[in-house]
Amino acid sequence: MSSVGTIALAVGGALSAFAAVAHLACIALGAPAYRVMGASDRMVRAAEEGSARPALITLFIAMMLFLWSGYALAGAGVIAPLPLTKSALMVISAIYLLRAVAFPFLKTLFPANTQAFWLVSSAVCLVMGLVHLVGIIDLWGVL
């Protein structure tokens, strides 16, 4: 029988993988997808102009999200254990949660991103961070 922690980390892994695929879709679909996702006008224009910069930034984010997905799935026992799984999951959860609550500060650093981008991405990060945190606490009682 699966525990709450195992299910939470499996869901967290699936959410991270889905977010990674959404980022890859932006690369494949181009400027219209960046616009729908709330990217800044500068990013959208760069994608329209065929600049590699938006794709490279987005690819890096997708790679990190796939890596984080792997760690969550390893923590859930879905795939083989990865090095430093517990520590990595604590860092990943902290990053998601910090990203969720730090958006007012981040907004000043990236003022061109839309309000919708900040609200939606922050809410998504909050949910993902909490799901990972539930898994960590349930499986290892760490905090």
Task: For residue 50, count other CB atoms closer than 10 A to its CB.
Answer: 10
Does 143 reside within a domain?
no
26-53 residue pLDDT tens: 999 999 999 988 888 899 999 999 999 9
Q: Report yes or no on 114 lying in a domain.
A: yes
- pLDDT tens digits, residue range 52-65? 999 999 999 999 99
Q: What is the mean pLDDT of residues 60-85?
A: 97
What string of DSSP letters covers 53-64?
A: HHHHHHHHHHHH
pTM of the model: 0.91
pLDDT at 141: 85
Q: Is residue 10 part of a domain?
A: yes
Which residues fall within 8 angstroms of residue 90, CB to CB, at 6 or more apart? Answer: 136, 142
Question: Domain range spanning residue 81?
Answer: 4-136
CA terminus-to-terminus distance, the chain: 24
Residue 74 covered by a domain: yes
Q: Is the pLDDT of residue 142 over 90?
A: no
Mean pLDDT of 14-35: 96
| Identity of residue 130 | L
Is 142 part of a structural domain of the chain? no
Helices (H), the chain: 4-29, 31-36, 41-48, 52-75, 85-101, 103-109, 115-140
How far apart (Å, rounded) are the C-alpha atoms in residues 90 and 125?
Answer: 14
User: Residue 107 CB: number of other CB atoms within 10 A?
Assistant: 14
Tell me how long the chain is.
143
As for how many domains the chain has, the answer is 1
Q: What is the DSSP letter of 39?
A: -
